[in-house]
Amino acid sequence: MAKRHQEHQRLSEVLKDFVTDNKLQGGLDKVAVRDVWEAVMGSAITKYTQNIKLERNTLFVQLSSSVLREELSYGKQKIITNLNERLGRDLIKKLVLR
């Protein structure tokens, strides 16, 4: 049996390569955005959140309360900044509240 020459890599590097090679980053971003929304906005707003969807740097959030939607619309840029800060990169460019 022949010995194989293997490089030693960190597990984080192997996982990063796997995600890149299989084009999984988009799906991971969608899951991360949902988690970050709940963490940043808190349970009071999360209970009125019906759907969260990330498409091409635009975050679509469906809310069950029109009053809350109106209130949040005044602070869209701050929400985007807080979400991106928590994500660790500028992933969200636009926020659409429905």
Instruction: Report the predicted TM-score, pTM, of the whole model to 2 decimal places.
Output: 0.80
List phi, psi (to 5°) of 7.
Answer: -85, 145
Tell me, what's the pLDDT at 4? 53
Tell me, what's the pLDDT at 37? 96
Per-residue pLDDT of the chain (98 residues; tens, 9 = 90+): 445 556 777 888 877 777 677 777 787 788 899 999 999 999 999 999 999 999 999 999 999 999 999 999 999 999 999 999 999 999 999 999 99
Tell me, what's the pLDDT at 15? 77
Tokens of 49: 């959140």
DSSP state of 4: P
Q: Are 36 and 86 in contact (CB under 8 A)?
A: yes
